[in-house]
Amino acid sequence: MAETISIKQVYDEVKKMEKDMVTKKEMMSLIDTIGIMGNPETMNQVAESMEDIKKGRVKEVSSVKDLMSEM
């Protein structure tokens, strides 16, 4: 004879599975990250930017006008 289960048991199992699932937003973020990290030129730019930050070569920009004045 087939075993029967309640709707509550099914619901509980689905909730357990959901905890291990990745959302579409998380997956898209991962794909973006892989794309960035897989591009050597972009990674070099990131490394250079990090070095600039460490050495204090940064400027605070609080408006578009500030940004445009730097160009």
Domain segments of the chain: what residues? 1-33
To the question of pTM greater than 0.75 for the whole model, the response is: no
pLDDT digits (tens, 9 = 90+) for 12-60: 999 999 988 999 999 999 999 999 999 999 999 999 999 999 999 998 8
The pLDDT confidence band at residue 71, using thresholds 50, 70 and 90, is confident
Q: Is residue 22 within 8 Å of 31, Cβ to Cβ? A: no
